[in-house]
Amino acid sequence: MNRARNAGRSIVTASFPDDLRAAILRCAEDMSGGALTSDRISFVLKPYARAPRLADPGRFDLAGCVTHRAEVPVYPASVVKLFHLYELCGLEAEGRLVLTDEDRRAARAMIEISSNEATAYLVGRMSGAFDGPWCDAATLAEFTRARHSVQAWFEARRDPDFAGISVLHATYEDSPYGAAKQIREGTSGNRLTARAGAALLHDIVRGAAAGSAWMMSLLDRSAQRAAFASGGCPPEGDQVRGFLGEGLAEDVKVWAKAGHTSWTRHDLLYGELGETGFILSVMTDSHWSADDTTFLPEVARLCLAAFRAQSECPA
């Protein structure tokens, strides 16, 4: 681990992106004993000289980012919930859905404590196809057509940042049941890329997405960080301990959505340091990283050290 941290402190060179990329991959290899290989991790670090909440940087651009396998789709676990929230806000702005107090309560639970029940409910609200019992062929075809509207909303945007993603399904504690199980068996599972996550969060942070202010309020991890600092016990739905936010200093403000299964561990985070900021999108597809709670915080430490040093480096 010391090797990884030292690498993070000495990466300010003309080849900054390559040095940081190599440091992260070396960190993965060292910490996992070779279990987390380079083909099991993808990431995007997007630095901002001026925080996008303060000055709109325009559309997302990979130029100037530190990336690795940024366009390789992987199962996103609960990170997909932020995509569902983004679409929910978009449907409301388009006048295609009127959000109720119950919808907003579910959205809060979906993001703040990563509730799977709330997610399934909201996917039903967006598509009009709620989870139900096992279906005959005709009923399943109708259910499938309705559910595909969730995916179709993103496809209609024709945004290259979202190429190759699939956000069709809700998330479940152990498994979908009934019609939700049938549609999962008949279609591919959810898929996201590190690029798509970074681009989506970029739009939210800069205020370009419908409902950006509300989404940012739900992503704010200040309360979870404070609860742990004061009581020493992770709060319900904690998305800081074992994820990127744990590795960031107290002076970094954090907005994030994490995801975790028995074979994945991901985090999508916006950090703000004074008047500067950065987006960090990290996805790992490995049983080792799923069980480990130290690697993602270490990645955040590496990136923060590099970001601080790069920000202080004369132009």
More confident call, 4 vs 24: 24
pLDDT tens profile 76-123: 999 999 999 999 999 999 999 999 999 999 999 999 999 999 999 999
The full DSSP string for 47-89 is EESS-TTTS---S---TT-EEESTT--B--GGGHHHHHHHHHH
Listed residue (44, 3, 65) closest to 298, CA to CA: 3
The structural domains of the chain, with segments of one domain joined by +, span 1-69+194-201+218-315, 75-192
Listed residue (188, 181, 219) closest to 79, CA to CA: 219
Query: pTM for the complete prediction?
Result: 0.93
Task: Give the rounded percent of residues in the chain with a pLDDT score beyond 90.
Answer: 86
Listed residue (193, 187, 184, 172) closest to 285, CA to CA: 193
Residue 169 reports pLDDT greater than 90: yes
Residue with token string 């068996």: 185
Rounded-to-integer distance, Cα 71 and Cα 148, Å: 22
pLDDT (mean) for 7-21: 55
